[in-house]
Amino acid sequence: MAEVPVKPYTDVQVQSIRRRSISVLALGQILGGLGGGATLTLGSLLIVHLSGLDSLAGMAATMNTLGAAAMAIPLAMLAHKYGRRISLSTGALIAAFGSALIVTAAILGSVPLLFIGMLVLGTASAMNLQSRFAATDLSSEATRGRDLSLVVWTTTIGAVIGPNLFAPGEVVSQAFGLPEYTGGFLIAMAAQVIGMIIYFSGLRPDPMKVALVQSKEPAHKPRRGGGFRLLREIPAARRAVITVALSHAYMVSLMSMTPVHMQHHGATLTIIGLTISLHVLGMYALSPVFGWLTDKVGGRTVVLAGQILFISASLCVWFAPTNATVVTVALGLLGLGWSASTVAGSTMVSGAVPVQDRTSLQGTSDLLMNLAGAAGGLSAGPILAVFGFHGLALGLLVLAAIVVLVNRRTSTPVPAMLTLD
């Protein structure tokens, strides 16, 4: 990494930089979250509007996830070489370009260009995932979970505001004479540009560069082979990444099929909306609590608690799959399980390797997390069609069992089938 000063900072300086960095990351996370929130709602509407095909509505989320997966490692490489400031500000600029492509596609009436824009806008999700890791650059072991969870918590604001950009967005699109459903993406684009400015100006000095200067670990060149080699060689890294990836797949698989299942069994749109809102609330609102618990009792304990919440959600669905109230409770438990497992698992990812290797492992973790989520979402539909909603919920218990297995407090190595060789 270039331009790393030689003289260490004082403890007082480090804590001041840490607090300021977390504040900047939190603000950037709010702005960045608008893009993702807009994609999942306005994006689906815009795709249907341009294509005339309801069956393509899910492509908004799919392209967003694939875009996030594609950009995870490139952004991590930028962070390693130039620091978080350059990586995050570049990510915000690319995400803004994605919004511009989406508006252009709507003007031209081009569905392929629209898909490309959705793919590029997925950079916002990759950037937001990296922000939570950036919050831990200057954290001690005693504060790592809390710092990470505070940045995760701010995602709630963007996630809530983003889907509600429809009305103000329509005012904007009409004012500029643009096609329907595009105004929200203009707002998201402006937010990303502001976020870029905040990252570029606010992350000085760069927390990653300061962490390298302060590191008491023996200096070494990053391992060749990047994060995948780290997964093969370091059990703690493997355990943490498996936890994050499979927990995300569990959540996406069950959550993505819930609206369809509830609608088929007579639930109103109001009830479905309430169910998803409670799920999102569970995902983010209590993340600081799980971060604090991770610091106090350890990541493995919180991960196991998260898997218990997952299992409870599946059992609720198994016993009463057609009861809207029970399904709503299940989705709340699912959100809480994701929050506990992801906060604790991500904290474990940051603490699993030396500072010099951290960005490589973090990028690989985000890549596998997004791919696991995409795989879960794509496979959940066929499973639902064959085995029903309760069958899907029961089958997901296999993922929880794997996470529990790899997080046992024993010296037993992770099974070879899970080493991602």
pLDDT in tens, 206-252: 999 999 888 766 555 555 567 899 999 999 999 999 999 999 999 99
Full domain range(s) for residue 136: 11-212
Within a domain: residue 220?
Answer: no
Domain shared by 180 and 314, yes or no = no
Which of residues 185, 212, 239 is at a domain's end?
A: 212
Q: Is 268 left (phi over 0), alpha (psi -120 to 50) or beta?
A: beta
How many domains, in total, are found in the chain? Answer: 2
Q: What is the pLDDT of residues 78-98, one digit of tens each?
A: 998 999 999 999 999 999 999
Q: How far apart are CA 364 and CA 352, in angstroms?
A: 13
Q: Are 364 and 329 in contact (CB under 8 A)?
A: no
pLDDT band at 39 (very low <50, low <70, confident <90, very high): low
Domain shared by 338 and 191, yes or no = no
What are the Cα distances from residue 72, in Å, to 145, 242, 363?
21, 16, 5
What are the Cα distances from residue 348, in Å, to 141, 239, 241, 369?
10, 9, 8, 14
Q: What are phi and psi of 222, to 5 degrees?
A: -55, 145
Q: How far apart are CA 273 and CA 113, in angstroms?
A: 30
Model pTM? 0.85
pLDDT band at 348 (very low <50, low <70, confident <90, very high): very high
Domain shared by 310 and 231, yes or no = yes
CATH number at residue 307: 1.20.1250.20
3-state secondary structure 247-265: HHHHHHHHHHHHHHHHHHC
Within a domain: residue 421?
Answer: no
Within a domain: residue 414?
Answer: no
Domain shared by 230 and 312, yes or no = yes
Within a domain: residue 265?
Answer: yes
Q: Residue type for 64, please?
A: N
Within a domain: residue 217?
Answer: no
Which of residues 184, 212, 240 is at a domain's end?
A: 212
What are the Cα distances from residue 147, in Å, to 120, 150, 207, 296, 302?
28, 5, 13, 13, 16
pLDDT > 70 fraction of the chain, expressed in percent and rounded: 87
Domain shared by 208 and 264, yes or no = no
Burial class (CB in 10 A: 0-12, 13-18, 19+), 167: exposed
Q: Are 50 and 107 in contact (CB under 8 A)?
A: no
Q: How far apart are CA 45 and CA 39, in angstroms?
A: 9
pLDDT band at 409 (very low <50, low <70, confident <90, very high): low
Which of residues 212, 237, 254 is at a domain's end?
A: 212
Domain shared by 286 and 330, yes or no = yes
Q: Are 341 and 300 in contact (CB under 8 A)?
A: no
pLDDT at 314 (0 to 100): 96
Q: Are 249 and 376 in contact (CB under 8 A)?
A: yes
